[in-house]
Amino acid sequence: MARSYQQIVNFLQELDKRLNKKFDLFVVGGGSITLFYDHQNTTLDIDAVEVDARILKIAGEKSALAEKHKVYIQKISEVGFSAPKDWKTKTKLLKDLSFMHLAIYVADIHDVVLGKFARLEARDIKDISGLFKNGHINIDFLLKRLNQNTKELMNQEYKNNVKLAFEVIFGKKIIFRQGQALIDQSHA
């Protein structure tokens, strides 16, 4: 069952109380959407990049804290997050909540969308559609970030997902020319 904003906040506040030193937490995926962009969004877990082992011990999938709050921190590798290499420079510090030991950085929404393109399940399409409908996505900037995502642009499945997402969600046809994604103006 998906978790609400308040459940996630309660979980993170209790995690913060259990820590004895400062940690940075780089949140991507649905967790970043729920915490920063759309408090009505729900998520199954909090995907974070390169999480410290101490945090995972306290707040990972099988932890007592996760069992109590029915949410957990899922570690993903930076390589596994399908965004351009400079994605951390575009993160935003979550300032709405105050923590003693946690500094939570959320990925830029365009980079979150690029990450969702990699899997592009029904839940991802719903998340991206909601973000677009609520004015969080700038198509031109998304296309720019997509073209900076050179590693993923070599992956045919990723490119197919991009084509599908742009057509279904944004009503735009994407073509790939010389390693770059372009909006097909002949179908505009």
Decide if pLDDT at 87 tops 70.
yes
Question: What pLDDT does 79 receive?
Answer: 67
Cα 169 from Cα 162, distance rounded (Å) = 10
Q: Which of 54, 65, 90 is nearest to 15 (CA)?
A: 65
Decide if pLDDT at 188 tops 60.
no
Question: What pLDDT does 135 receive?
Answer: 95
Cα 39 from chain centroid (whole Å):
14
Handedness of CA 78, 81, 84, 90 (dihedral sign): negative
| pLDDT tens digits for range 157-174 | 999 999 999 999 999 999
Secondary element (H or E) of residue 147: helix 139-147
By DSSP bridging, strand 92-93 and strand 73-76 are unpaired
Cα 154 from Cα 176, distance rounded (Å) = 11
Please list the residues that pair with 47 across neighbouring strands.
28, 74
| pLDDT tens digits for range 6-64 | 999 999 999 999 999 999 999 999 999 999 999 888 888 999 998 999 999 999 999 99
Please identify which residue in the block is written with the tokens 């969702």.
116
Decide if pLDDT at 3 tops 90.
no
| pLDDT tens digits for range 93-118 | 999 888 999 999 999 999 999 999 99
Decide if pLDDT at 187 tops 60.
no
Decide if pLDDT at 2 tops 80.
no
Cα 43 from Cα 75, distance rounded (Å) = 15
